[in-house]
Amino acid sequence: MFVATFLCNPARPTLDPALVESLRNAWGGGDVVWLAADEAAEFSLQTMPENADEVWQVCQDQSVDLIIQTADGRRKKMLIADMDSTMIQQECIDELAAEAGVGDRVAGITARAMNGELDFEEAIDERVGLLADLPETIIDHVLNTRITYMPGGATLLKTMRGQGAYAALVSGGFTAFTARVASELGFNENRANTLEFADGKLTGKVVRPILGQDAKLEALNGITATLGITPADAIAVGDGMNDLLMLENAGTGVALHGKPALQEKVSVRVNHGDLTALLYMQGYAKSEFVT
């Protein structure tokens, strides 16, 4: 049994009932269940439609995200999430670079690294090297003035944790940022890279080992083992190629406004919805959200 879920941007709830009904009829689906009026709906399917990819593109052209997944076990016991451009709307290293006057140079490297065009470890070393001698106080300044949360993130955390789920923030960014983000959003734990400081300034180096794609997969496997569950019990979300192994090995791996290279590899793609999309695709109705 499968479930087809339809989502749109909650800030502009314009999901057309005619679109959902026409596809239900074409695919022989079950009754339509509206998870949120004009915003999210779903229906059951006996088999995966042969034209699912074609229909996905039609829905994208109408600013609608379509997710088709197996119905069994879709409500997860764990959330594992990337931070930059996923739980927050920025890339922390780019914001630090802007303060250092090398924003455009670093942002270009970041974009190529997240699209899988550069080695992640080499890219992080090159970018952090350009931040040498920035004062340690720059971290709080950037957090206070440049960082904003991705819409729906707080609701996602509160709702899943209210149902007993565990939440881990696992980032290729920096602990100086993940500590506050994890605390404010309500994650159980956070893992990231550590910037090196000396005499109150950034040295331009990152403490080894570097947390990259393999480490995110190790976090998924290790945390689920500790909890006595399996990776199939987890929903993972990220936007860049360094999230690929984590997304591929979780029960549900979501590319949230993902980079083009990631979208080519991942079947669950959210390009119009916000982080509450992860609740809808688990079958939560908006009336069940904890806000």
pLDDT at 244: 97
Strand pairing class (166-174; 65-70): unpaired
Closest CA to 253 of 36, 78, 56: 78
1-72 sits in which CATH class? alpha beta
DSSP output for 73-94? T-S-SEEEE--TTTTBSS-HHH
Confidence of residue 184 (pLDDT cuts 50, 70, 90): very high
- Taking only the tens place, the pLDDT of each residue in 77-104 is 999 999 999 999 999 999 999 999 999 9
Residues acting as catalytic residues: 82, 84
114/101 Cα distance (integer angstroms) = 21
- Taking only the tens place, the pLDDT of each residue in 23-32 is 999 999 999 9
pLDDT at 154: 98
pLDDT at 142: 97
126/271 Cα distance (integer angstroms) = 30
Detail the DSSP E strand segments found in the chain.
2-7, 33-36, 40-45, 65-70, 78-81, 166-174, 189-198, 201-207, 234-238, 252-256, 268-270
pLDDT at 68: 98
Domain pair 1-72 / 76-291, same fold:
no
Question: Maximum Cα–Cα distance for the chain, whole Å?
Answer: 67
3-state secondary structure at position 58: helix
Q: Residues 6 or more apart from 122 whose CB is under 8 A from it?
A: none
Mean pLDDT for the chain overall: 97
The answer to whether 202 touches 133, Cβ cutoff 8 Å, is yes
Confidence of residue 59 (pLDDT cuts 50, 70, 90): very high
- Taking only the tens place, the pLDDT of each residue in 231-286 is 999 999 999 999 999 999 999 999 999 999 999 999 999 999 999 999 999 999 99
pLDDT at 230: 98
Strand pairing class (252-256; 268-270): parallel
Q: Residues 6 or more apart from 202 whose CB is under 8 A from it?
A: 128, 131, 132, 133, 134, 135, 136, 138, 195, 196
Domain locations in the chain as residue ranges: 1-72, 76-291
pLDDT at 224: 98
Note the Cα 147 to chain centre separation in Å. Answer: 16
pLDDT at 81: 98
238, two tokens: 């990220």
- Looking at domain 76-291, which CATH architecture does it have? 3-Layer(aba) Sandwich (3.40)
pLDDT at 275: 98
172/160 Cα distance (integer angstroms) = 23
